[in-house]
Amino acid sequence: MEVQKIFENNKKWVQHQLAIDTNYFKDMSKGQNPEILYIGCSDSRVTAEEMMGVGPGEAFVHRNIANMVPNTDLSAMSVIDYSLMHLKVNHVVVCGHYYCGGVKAAMQPKDLGILNPWLRNIRDVYRIHKDELNTIKDEDKKYKRLVELNVQEQCVNVIKTSEFQQAYNDRKVTVHGWVFDIHSGKLIDLKIDFEKILDQIREIYRLH
Ligand SMILES: [Zn+2]
């Protein structure tokens, strides 16, 4: 794609939005009040807003390789803090996707340089769920299951934060784990029982 084409697209988009609502940008500049924090993968095939059918202002979005929520990542932690404490979102979504390159890379025993510390977080998920994963003989099924388990563990990482626990006590914020199926375009709800997880981890991770 030519970069210049992007500016032409933008011009058309502005005209299209103004044709629907002349105050569109005026209203948008007043501020944001999103209901959802979406944490997804940077993969170019998994668009956050488009596949959820939401427009500007409806979702606060954070994307990185393999939709991770590492405790020491200042970017992810700042996004969680700002969206839960200040924007007061009511739902946190962690959305993974099948055939995730980050998860695939973590499954290979290989030195990948600067990617090593990032992928280590996914390898840790593998280690935690090693018994289940090693019973799966089909490599493709194992890969897909690791994608799901990684989403689940990142939901646990959200639940471990002080911000989430405060927001849960204050207004019963919810956490959702989803997987985007690249083959069908469908979103799959992993139906993660976050309240049960919160209950189980409280003994060690209770901050509020
Ligand atoms: Zn991915």
pLDDT at residue 55 in the model: 87
For the question of residue 171 being annotated catalytic, the response is no
For the question of residue 41 being annotated catalytic, the response is yes
Of the candidates 27, 73, 95, 97, the residue annotated as catalytic is 97
> Could you state, in order of their start, the residue ranges of all structural domains in the chain?
31-205
For the question of residue 86 being annotated catalytic, the response is no
Strand order in the sheet with 59-64: 59-64, 36-41, 91-97, 174-181, 186-189
pLDDT at residue 1 in the model: 83
Walk along the chain (208 residues) in steps of 10 and give the mean pLDDT of each run.
94 96 92 96 94 93 98 97 98 98 95 96 97 97 98 98 97 98 96 94 91
0.75 exceeded by pTM: yes
Q: What angle do CA 46, 152, 114 make, to 5 degrees?
A: 65
For the question of residue 16 being annotated catalytic, the response is no
> What is the third-level CATH fold of 31-205?
Beta-carbonic Anhydrase; Chain A (3.40.1050)
